[in-house]
Amino acid sequence: MKNNYMKPLRKALLVAFYFISISTNFSQTLNWHNLENRKHVLHGEFGLDFSVSYGLGYSRQLKTKIPFVLNGFFYKPAGEIVFDDFKTKIGGQALWLNQQSWKGSVGIHGIYRKNTNDFVTLQNFGSETSATFGYYKNGWFLAGEVGFDKAIVTHFNHSNEYKEGVYENVKDGWYEPATGGNLQYGFQAGISFQPIDFTIKIGKVISQDFKTKPTLPFYLGLGLNCSL
Amino acid sequence: MSKFFILFLSISCVLACTDDREILEPGNLVPKTVMEDPTISSITINGAKLHAQAFGPENGTLIIVLHGGPGAYFQYLLNVSSLANKGYRVVFYDQIGSGLSQRFPYAYYSKFGKDAVDKVFYDELNGVIKYFKKRIDQKVVLLGDSWGGIMAAGFVGKYPNAVDGIIVGEPGGLTWADISEYITESQAFKFFGETLNDVTFADQFITAKNDEHEVLDYKFGLISAKNNIVGERVPDIGNLKVHYRNGRVGSVIQSAMFELGEKYNIDFSEGLDQFQNKTLYIYSSENTVHNDEWAKKISSSFKNKEIFKVQGVGHSGYFDQQKTWKIITEPKVLEFLKSI
């Protein structure tokens, strides 16, 4: 009987973790050196992030002792069908090391994403924790980055095509513990022509067992930031 | 703040109070194999438990059906079971690590190195023939589709006197170079297309270790959608599905054999010139990659052959489309079987 109560409780905590990560906030490619007088930053991105994807985002710098940025992003993979697949991230980044040119930041984001194909619709709540450390100047920056993306709890809803053509007794519903996780590591860089930044990030992706690789084992992002 | 807290608590509770499931639990996302479900018909060959079914009189000419893949399952070929009504003994089995047969880790296959196909598939096929052959003079014919056709060619190249004839449906190639070219041409995904990005995007949601077959097979199954380039359609086997209700692909066997094939440049045409018995080479009109020119090239390795083009269907359609099988393919196959 104990397990019958433990499972919903554990999931409540997992779901709570997602919302807490939104409400407390904590990576986007930012030139921290130029951020001092900027309150709003708009982001546009194109690249490879588990797919060919496009992204839009917004960051707002808060008036805090430690430089702190709240941000939200929307990513959509390429494809003929609009809005059947997407990823949203809400969270923030804090500058934990803030010397003249050497700077380090940490970020945490709550993720909600959806993937639909002929057989199943997947909806997932996850989290992304990340850290960057690099050299930042007024006109450019170069930093190393590492991030861990965890698919905490995922809902599976299978189509009739799967049920009739593949497996009639498939179990729909919420699946946990975590159904996936990937570690990303690489570099990010940018050049700044205020109020515009051109950014690039590139790196590798490996699954959470540190052995298997996803179908697209690397990421690449070309970005444009516009400060307001 | 209190409103947000109530909203947060409500959503958390709603999500928390639904039934939750574990992704590795057998039977949740993909059907159980013969190892978890004892009600599935099986045979044990060389220590591996295989899902197998046989139709027709035990003493009839043996037709051993070889499915595609590697890693697919025999359900889509069940139309061929109608040969049982003509007195043939038709045997279907899911190859090792495929369909509902027993799963093995990657290392089980890779330990055989360049002999993997021989030790894994040919030894298994010899075992299946031995299991079902009831008379010493009982004729044996292999009927293989796609990868099954490649496997049939490789087998008779190694054991030219083991069978009395082979029927092959669109083997993509017999040399590794031809197989690679065929695969590349037939799976030309669009970079910005829905299909490719659906596949890669899903890697954020589900990841698996090398031995987590339930998850690996499920993910591989999501990729294995129909392919318009080779003219594939959803199989039509009518009410024969009662014999094989739920399917499951084998991810580990598929990736292991492709990696080993590429590493050792496996040549399935080796020794084929020693096979003097008849070959019926079938291909389809709607497969734009396995076209007339490709059929001529690949079939040139078979010495004693008849080439038969089936109109109106694509890859596998000559077997898995019930109407086409009944009207076009089966009469030709029966004519071939009577000639051996």
Q: What is the pLDDT of residue A10?
A: 39
* Rounded CA separation A18/A12 (Å): 10
Domain boundary assignment for chain B: 30-339
Contact A182 B203 (CB under 8 A): yes
Contact B209 A209 (CB under 8 A): yes
**A11 at the B interface (CB within 8 A)?**
yes
- Name every residue whose Cβ is closer than 8 Å to that of residue B177 and which is 6 or more positions away in sequence: B265
Q: What is the pLDDT of residue A18?
A: 37
Contact B20 A176 (CB under 8 A): yes
Q: Which CATH number fits domain B30-339: 3.50.50.60, 3.30.450.20, 3.40.50.1820, 3.30.2010.30?
A: 3.40.50.1820
Q: What is the pLDDT of residue B118?
A: 95
pLDDT tier for residue A1 given thresholds of 50, 70 and 90: very low
**A17 at the B interface (CB within 8 A)?**
no
Nearest to A211 among B22, B210, B221 (CB): B210
The ipTM (two decimal places) reads 0.86
| Structure tokens belonging to residue A227 | 């400060």
| Structure tokens belonging to residue B330 | 């089966």
Domains, in order of start, for chain A: 2-227 (2.40.128)
- Mean pLDDT, chain B, whole residue set: 91
Nearest to A15 among B12, B194, B225 (CB): B12
Question: Chain A contacts of B219, Cβ < 8 Å?
Answer: none
Nearest to A11 among B16, B199, B205 (CB): B16
* Rounded CA separation B132/B97 (Å): 21
**A77 at the B interface (CB within 8 A)?**
yes
Question: Chain A contacts of B213, Cβ < 8 Å?
Answer: none
pLDDT tier for residue A39 given thresholds of 50, 70 and 90: confident
* Mutation choice for B interface testing from A50, A84, A158 by most B CBs within 10 A: A50
Q: Is the pLDDT of residue A82 over 60?
A: yes
Contact B201 A124 (CB under 8 A): no
pLDDT (average), residues B207-226:
84
* Rounded CA separation A11/B53 (Å): 43
Pick from A110-124, A202-216, B75-89, B183-197: least confident:
B183-197
CB atoms inside a 10 Å sphere around CB B113: 11
Q: Using alpha carbons only, how large is chain B's radius of gyration in Å?
A: 21
Question: Chain B contacts of A77, Cβ < 8 Å?
Answer: 197-198, 200-201
Q: Are B308 and B278 in contact (CB under 8 A)?
A: no
Contact A167 B199 (CB under 8 A): no
Contact A215 B247 (CB under 8 A): no
Residues composing chain B: 340
